[in-house]
Amino acid sequence: MLSKLRGEIYLLSGALLFSFNGIISKIVLLDGLSAWRLTQIRTGGAFVILFAIYFAFRRSELKTNRKELPWLIAFGVVGVALVQALYFVAIERLYIGVALLIEFTAPIWILLFLRFVLKKHVPNSLWYAILLSFTGLILITQVWSGLSLDKIGLIAALLDAFALAGYFLIGDRLGKTKTSAAIALWGFGVASALLFFTLPAWQFPVEVFSKDMELLGRFSQYSLPGWVLILWIVVMGTIAPYLLVVSGLKILSASTASIFGMIEPVLAGMFAWWWLSESLSGIQLIGSVVVLLGIFVADKARVKAGGH
């Protein structure tokens, strides 16, 4: 009983930190650092710190073989670099809660992939999940009034949902032979290496570290140096929640953990409402609840179908 409670506390704490990180990331993005550069510094910083920890204490977990390597590279490109960069593009242009809701429709795309590409049997509840989620998205985007959301942000959030589906599918395949820590470390490492050369690290806009950044919203009269906010994103917005979620997953079932994952867009929306005054209309709030119901149904079906 106590271990179950500890697992729940770990997962809730991880969701809180991931959710709050959306606010800090948006501050940095709106102050001029691009989504790809923020992804670069986030993955690079997380990789260096986590690699030092695991190399010192759990080195054996990091070994791999030729068969796993292509999947680890795919995980780093799709599951880490694309998931993070597209999320940053989305939250820069959309309300944070809305961007996360769209991203978290990933279980639906996983089920569709299992059904139509891998030809696996999936529960009939898939169709209810699709109906609920897309009804909710129609209410959130208000398509009848000419689409109320930023189109680039919306496309980025949808692509992010596909990338997150890839994250789960590739991670599930790798999870049969590797620990979650090793998968994450390889993912951060591959993403860091990719971005090191595609966005030359020696051309990184280092002035962002010394720049004072306005905290926006209810704290707009205050500012902090860029390095403080970026350090928060790397340590408290990436490494700490990752370790908390991994610790929680070891104690609880994946289906229980996925329910806690659904809390993230709700918490993110609450933080954004409190800090940035990002408020939705009544119809959009109803749409958000309907999407969450759809994600819940899809996630249950995903676990039953063995695609978690």
Please give the single-letter amino acid code of residue 66: R
Whether 308 shows a pLDDT value over 60: the answer reads: no
For residues 253 and 96, which has the higher predicted lDDT (pLDDT)?
96
The residues near 281 (Cβ < 8 Å, ≥ 6 apart) are: 142
157/107 Cα distance (integer angstroms): 14
Q: What is the pLDDT of residue 280?
A: 87
Residue 66, both tokens: 């030729």
Give pLDDT tens digits for 116-154: 998 888 888 889 988 998 899 888 887 666 667 899 999
Q: Taking CA 109 as the corner, what is the angle to CA 105 and CA 112, rounded to the nearest 5 degrees?
A: 140
Torsion angle, CA of 273/155/85/79, rounded to 10 degrees?
110
Predicted local distance difference test score (pLDDT) of residue 59 = 85
- The answer to whether the beta carbons of residues 140 and 56 sit under 8 Å apart is no
Question: Burial, 36: exposed, middle or buried (Cβ in 10 Å; 0-12, 13-18, 19+)?
Answer: middle
Minimal CA–CA distance to 295: which of 82, 19, 100, 7?
Answer: 100
The pLDDT of residue 226 is 97
Judged by DSSP in three states, 63 sits in coil
pLDDT score recorded for residue 173: 87
pLDDT at 80: 94
Question: Is residue 244 over pLDDT 80?
Answer: yes
Pull the structure tokens for residue 200. Answer: 């030359």
Tens digits of residue pLDDT in 12-56: 999 999 999 999 999 999 998 999 999 999 999 999 999 998 888
SS3 content of the chain, % helix, strand, coil (to 5): 80, 0, 20
Query: How sure is the predictor about 278, in pLDDT bands with cuts at 50, 70 and 90?
Result: very high
Angle between helices 35-57 and 180-198 (to 10 degrees): 140
**For residue 251, what are the CA distances in angstroms to 7, 44, 57, 201?**
5, 29, 21, 39
pLDDT for 262 equals 76
Count CA atoms closer than 13 A to 264's CA, side-chain side: 26
Amino acid 254: pLDDT? 57
What span, in angstroms and rounded, lies between the C-alpha atoms of 67 and 69? 6
pLDDT for the residue numbered 85: 97
51-80 confidence digits (pLDDT tens): 998 888 888 888 888 899 999 999 999 999
DSSP 122: -
- Residue 302 CA to residue 171 CA, distance in Å, equals 14
118 vs 276: which has the higher pLDDT? 276
The answer to whether 286 touches 139, Cβ cutoff 8 Å, is yes
Rounded CA separation 213/197 (Å): 27
